[in-house]
A and B are shown apart, each in its own frame.
Chain A
Amino acid sequence: MSTLAEEIKKPKIASQSERPGANALEHEAIYIMREVAAQFEKPVLLFSGGKDSITLVRLAQKAFWPAKIPFPLMHIDTGHNFPETIEFRDKLVEELGVELIVRNVQDSIDEGKVVEETGKYASRNMLQTTTLLDAIEEFKFDACIGGARRDEEKARAKERIFSVRDDFGQWDEKNQRPELFDMLNGEIEIGQNVRVFPISNWTELDVWSYIQKENIEIPSIYFAHKRNTFLRDGLIWSAEDDVVFRADDEQVEERMVRFRTVGDMSCTAAVESYADTIDKVVAEIRDSRISERGARIDDKRSEAAMEKRKQQGYF
């Protein structure tokens, strides 16, 4: 895997007959990235360390090369992230030479703005929203680029590419701007902001195939590894970190697993897998019969879980 520093130096001259690859989704995403940089004064890329936001970073690199990415990255750190993700994040930012802003959910808890959930299903996933909205206000960000995809979940299927949020960060799904042809309308009032989703039209398989083709480095937890785990509600949970609640009768067992989606440790379950290379992961996704968010406990809370969170200003 080549580092950005090596890659960015000089253009490689493709043979004179060649054309750039015809991945329509990639060209669309690059177009969107450029619209963000041109239409907004203070954009930011929301970076979680997950594969979707890593893909966004690569697309942003491509959109503005040979210049640096013209906006900072921001990570809303729940404090429950996988250590592998944080390590990866810091390394990537250093290579890119871009600014990284980190805001902590722990601070929101300490300031009394949100209250930690308790019990078996306690998660900081919901609490992130407050920290995110506060950070948007603090930095006066007018556009936040996120890695949400429409195929992830039913409510997200209705999301626009430029999705306007009001002063309270809320999503009004019944009053969305129509998006026609390629034209993106980023006009907003002061206090509003736009959530931008450049990979809206990508599926999980599209993202993985892209990571494979582009040879993009991703955190190790996406690949099969041995981990101490326990079973609950038919899902496999990591038993290696104390932020995941485990009852005494929940037996710890070592399993060969990987993570298909990397959210908060407390709400991300693992899947049994022997896919320890990107090629094997792509093959596994292609054959998979379970949707990606099937391993996200936060969506299982109710049929309308995601829609409710989005109205409140979630990613």
Chain B
Amino acid sequence: MEVLKIATAGSVDDGKSTLIGRLLYDTKSMTDDKLEAIERTSKQKGYDYLDFSLATDGLVAEREQGITIDVAHIYFSTPSKSYIIADTPGHVEYTRNMVTGASTSQASIILIDARKGVIEQTHRHFFINNLLRVKDVIVAINKMDLVDFSEETYNKIKSDFEELMGKRDYQDQTITFIPVSALKGDNVVNRSENTPWYEGQTLLEHLEALDQKDIYNTGTPRFPVQYVIRPKTEDFHDFRGFAGKVYGGELNVGDEVVVLPSMTRSKIKDIYFYNEQYKTAPRRSSVTITLEDEVNVSRGDMLVKVGDLPTVDKQLTATVSWMDSANFVPGGKYVLQHGVNKVLAKVDAIEHKIHPDYSGIEENVTALQMNDIAKVKLRLNKPIFYDRFKDHRTNGSFIIIDSRTNNTAGVGFID
């Protein structure tokens, strides 16, 4: 079954949790015991409607404060697809969670409160979806019931948002506008009778129609080696398999490959998935590859096709999204994890900070704080084999680990 990962973004009270609850309810993905718990709690609180946000706000602190404070994952499925929603909070201070949710998603829902229209938060949400190059963006204009399902209001918000789209740098992104009421269920799963002027799909119809081909950014095949399999048994005495996941494109038996960093050339002999051999290792498959020649390959090395070499360099410029409470400073030393490969990195310079709402840049920055986004220059102790993020979402990104705390302190997108 197909799996579609979706990130959601909205401001406090935009009704994000309610929208997700509505999706679960109308697709009958919510079980009776969970529904009963929601009914019970809604009644206790004196609401005259079902508070679907109770289905997703999982932690005690969230129930107390009535807000979502971390990324939560919600699952539902239809006969044709499995959906995973990364529910990320919309507060200004939680940019890091939104970046995190978007990094694993192929589609994203941006919520706008129809009464408030496009606000600064909307700029941020769109900026992040653009920065992370999320392929399919749905702008859900919510709480339409509170503006009498006004077409005029919808059109005004749509044109405000389209103005924002002029600022984006990722042009291939598909953007779809849908007028909804999460609370009442209009245009979420079922078509609304209240919006006769809207002829587009409902939210679920749109998600159902998304094809895998439309939602993955393609690039050249990259095979970072995770693990070397050497069984040393009688049956597989000389077996040396390179285990890893294929990114960007597919690899085939007989492909001429180069092993990085040694630059040794060989040919793909066999492709295994468990105990079966295949001709092709498709994109995003976890396979085991053997080579024709006896080549020295270890974890962190990369197999690429001859003629499709990535950049091999010890210096790079990247946009970094900082996620740690300890500041990112010039001269600072970190561990940089690029795929499965780890190297040491030193911050050469912070070129400028980028306001994540399209309001420009800030120069002469001395440090980055949590939730800052900036252009930085890094120097590495060993070369890595990278592509530009705009050409390769996987091989163009890295994480920064603070070696004092071992925390994942930031994420970078290579220029």
Give residues in A with beta carbon < 8 Å to B: 7-14, 16-28, 30-31, 34-35, 37-38, 61-68, 150-151, 154-155, 157-158, 164, 173-174, 176-183, 185, 187-189, 200-201, 203, 205-206, 209, 288-291, 294, 303-304, 307
Give residues in B with beta carbon < 8 Å to A: 1-3, 31-34, 56-61, 63, 69-75, 77, 82, 84, 96-97, 99-100, 103-104, 226-227, 229-233, 235-236, 239, 241, 243-245, 272-282, 284-288, 299, 323, 335, 337, 339-340, 393-394, 397-399, 401, 403, 406-408, 411
The verdict on A180 contacting B226 (CB below 8 Å), with A13-B276, A27-B245, A38-B299 known, is no
B279 touches A17 (CB 8 A): yes
B226 touches A61 (CB 8 A): no
Interchain Cβ contacts under 8 Å between A and B, 22 examples? A7-B275, A10-B235, A19-B278, A19-B280, A19-B282, A20-B282, A20-B285, A28-B286, A35-B226, A38-B227, A62-B274, A63-B243, A64-B243, A65-B272, A66-B235, A67-B233, A158-B58, A178-B100, A179-B104, A180-B397, A182-B245, A200-B73
A178 touches B278 (CB 8 A): no
The verdict on A66 contacting B275 (CB below 8 Å), with A34-B243, A178-B97 known, is yes
B335 touches A187 (CB 8 A): yes
- Contact partner of B274 (CB less than 8 A), chosen from A22, A25, A65, A304, is A65
Tell me the minimal C-beta distance from B27 to chain A in angstroms.
13
A65 touches B399 (CB 8 A): no
A65 touches B82 (CB 8 A): no
Residues of A close to B411: CB separation below 8 A: 178, 180-181
Residue of B nearest to A157 (CB): B72
**B interface SS class:** mixed
Residues of A close to B231: CB separation below 8 A: 66-68
- Contact partner of A61 (CB less than 8 A), chosen from B77, B100, B241, B274, is B274
- Contact partner of A157 (CB less than 8 A), chosen from B74, B100, B241, B399, is B74
Known A24-B284, A183-B399, A291-B33; 6 more pairs at CB < 8 Å: A7-B275, A150-B73, A174-B61, A177-B407, A206-B82, A209-B1
The verdict on A155 contacting B58 (CB below 8 Å), with A12-B275, A177-B408 known, is yes
Residues of B close to A20: CB separation below 8 A: 273, 276, 278, 281-282, 285, 287
Residues of B close to A205: CB separation below 8 A: 77
Tell me the minimal C-beta distance from A24 to chain B in angstroms.
4
CA distance in complex: A64, B242 (Å): 10
CA distance in complex: A65, B56 (Å): 38
Residues of B close to A151: CB separation below 8 A: 73, 75
B274 touches A158 (CB 8 A): no
CA distance in complex: A150, B86 (Å): 11
CA distance in complex: A291, B131 (Å): 38
A18 touches B59 (CB 8 A): no
B401 touches A158 (CB 8 A): no
CA distance in complex: A68, B230 (Å): 10
Residues of A close to B275: CB separation below 8 A: 7-8, 10-12, 65-66
Residue of A nearest to B243 (CB): A34
CA distance in complex: A61, B233 (Å): 15
Residues of B close to A27: CB separation below 8 A: 245, 284-286
CA distance in complex: A183, B100 (Å): 11
Residues of A close to B82: CB separation below 8 A: 25, 203, 206
Residue of A nearest to B54 (CB): A154
Residues of A close to B99: CB separation below 8 A: 178, 180
CA distance in complex: A176, B77 (Å): 28
Residues of B close to A25: CB separation below 8 A: 3, 82
- Contact partner of A185 (CB less than 8 A), chosen from B73, B272, B408, is B408
Residues of B close to A157: CB separation below 8 A: 56, 58, 72-74
The verdict on A66 contacting B100 (CB below 8 Å), with A16-B279, A180-B397 known, is no
Residue of A nearest to B241 (CB): A66
Residues of B close to A22: CB separation below 8 A: 282, 285
Residues of A close to B57: CB separation below 8 A: 154
B31 touches A173 (CB 8 A): no
